Amino acid sequence: MQFRDLETQYLRLKSEIDGGIARVIKNTNFISGKQVNELEGRLAEYVGAKHCITCGNGTDALTLMMMAWGIKEGDAVFVPDFTFFASGEVVAYAGATPVFYDVQPDTFNADADSLEAAIRAVNAEGKLNPKAIIAVDLFGQPADYVKLQKVADKYDLLLLEDGAQGFGGRIGDKKACSFGDAATTSFFPAKPLGCYGDGGAVFVNDDNTADYLRSVRIHGKGSFKYDNIRIGVNSRLDTIQAALLLPKFKAFCEYELEDVNKVADLYTAQLCDNVITPVVTEGFYSSWAQYAIQLKDETERNILQNALKEKDIPTMIYYPKPMHRQKAFEGIKQYVDCTVTERLCETVLALPMHPYLSEEQIRFVTDNIKCILQKR
């Protein structure tokens, strides 16, 4: 069993994917080919954002927004403590200070009260300039942008949706990657919509920000390639990646998103009496980048993970360390306690999750979990 079965997906879409890649090779339009434009148009329309600007990866997408907003030394950017390293890394890379806040125990997403407490603490101290909030759509579910936007408005802060794991989720009819002042996503292979290498995108409505991003991702280009009007970076999505993302995006919309939700429902039905199963808030929809259960404590989690490994059932611990405990952030002041994150790092376990899991495979996983836990 695979944790995320990209091979089955490839075999289902083989002719479209192979055909798309072959056309790029034949036309030799490897960089900035028309497939990139086509993909950007389709993704923007799907998400409901005016502009989609693709780039090299999800980390660059966040970095490009730090550049667009002029985030710099002395600024504070608020980041959830329970997330992938890149969400905080880009803030420090811009020279600013990441201020970590806690998440909710059931959805794993930003806790608006903890965020507000962190903002107040930074304001009270008066050393840093609060500039922006990063919220993460962890494991596929959008963060609560209704609450978060209120906090952002109250303290006059920019709000950035890190939708690296969240593409395809929604709140009501509003899609992930359309919240806040800007949103980003990642096409890393294991993401809900993944390519065959690195890739990412920024979504914005503001025309000037979109122009800036289109320039800065290609060495700060002006009206033509060798006219450079600002210092930028080199961060483009390869045409081959765009070409294979087009059929993958079609499958994602036509059946993958629905199928992965059926997998989640079956997992929850099978496991809800035995472990803490993930919660999707009423009116929210997840794209299930991960299906993470919670165990009683670290010992039980580790025993279960090892026992599942013996049955060839792969699992992952996302994430074993709070951001504020990462060595790279040593010396960065903690303004609020993040006790929920501390606990989640000890108790979460992500199960195999993708749209191509059969009912038989799901039952094999859940029967083994029940059996292992009952034996304890």
Residue 4 CB, nearest approach to ligand PLP (Å): 12
Which of 9, 35, 63, 83 touches ligand PLP by CB under 6 A?
83
Name the closest residue to ligand PLP (Cβ).
58
Which is it for strands 129-136 and 158-162: parallel, antiparallel or unpaired? Answer: parallel
Q: Which stretch binds ligand PLP (CB under 6 A): 81-89, 144-152, 265-273, 291-299?
A: 81-89
84 is a site residue for ligand PLP (CB under 6 A):
yes
Coil, strand or helix at 320:
coil
Q: Quote the radius of gyration of the chain (alpha carbons, Å).
A: 21
162 is a site residue for ligand PLP (CB under 6 A):
yes
- Binders in 307-336 for ligand PLP, by CB under 6 A: none
200 is a site residue for ligand PLP (CB under 6 A):
yes
* Residue 96 or 136 having the CB closest to ligand PLP: 136
CA 105-308-163 angle, 5° bins:
40
Which of 17, 43, 47, 86 touches ligand PLP by CB under 6 A?
86
Site map 279..298 versus ligand PLP, x via CB under 6 A: --------------------
Q: Which stretch binds ligand PLP (CB under 6 A): 158-166, 248-256, 265-273, 332-340?
A: 158-166
- On whether the CB atoms of residues 103 and 340 are closer than 8 A, the answer is yes
Which of 79, 91, 136, 216 touches ligand PLP by CB under 6 A?
136
Residue 6 CB, nearest approach to ligand PLP (Å): 15
43 is a site residue for ligand PLP (CB under 6 A):
no
- On whether the CB atoms of residues 98 and 43 are closer than 8 A, the answer is no
Which segments of the chain does DSSP mark as H helices, in order? 6-27, 34-47, 58-68, 86-93, 112-125, 145-154, 207-216, 239-251, 257-271, 298-310, 339-347, 359-375
Angle between helices 359-375 and 257-271 (to 10 degrees): 30
Which of 54, 63, 87, 97 touches ligand PLP by CB under 6 A?
87
Joined together, the tokens standing for residue 272 give 């809800």
- Site size with ligand PLP, rule: CB under 6 A: 15
* Residue 44 or 61 having the CB closest to ligand PLP: 61
277 is a site residue for ligand PLP (CB under 6 A):
no
186 is a site residue for ligand PLP (CB under 6 A):
yes
Cα separation, 77 vs 97, in Å, equals 6
241 is a site residue for ligand PLP (CB under 6 A):
no
Cα separation, 102 vs 86, in Å, equals 17
- On whether the CB atoms of residues 134 and 160 are closer than 8 A, the answer is yes
Amino acid at 356: Y
* Residue 188 or 267 having the CB closest to ligand PLP: 188
Amino acid at 255: Y
348 is a site residue for ligand PLP (CB under 6 A):
no
Strands of 200-204's sheet, edge to edge?
51-55, 200-204, 182-186, 158-162, 129-136, 75-80, 97-101
Cα separation, 318 vs 39, in Å, equals 30
Which of 59, 241, 294, 347 touches ligand PLP by CB under 6 A?
59
Cβ atoms < 10 Å from Cβ of 56 = 22
Residues that bind ligand PLP (CB under 6 A): 57-59, 83-84, 86-87, 136, 162, 164-165, 186, 188, 198, 200
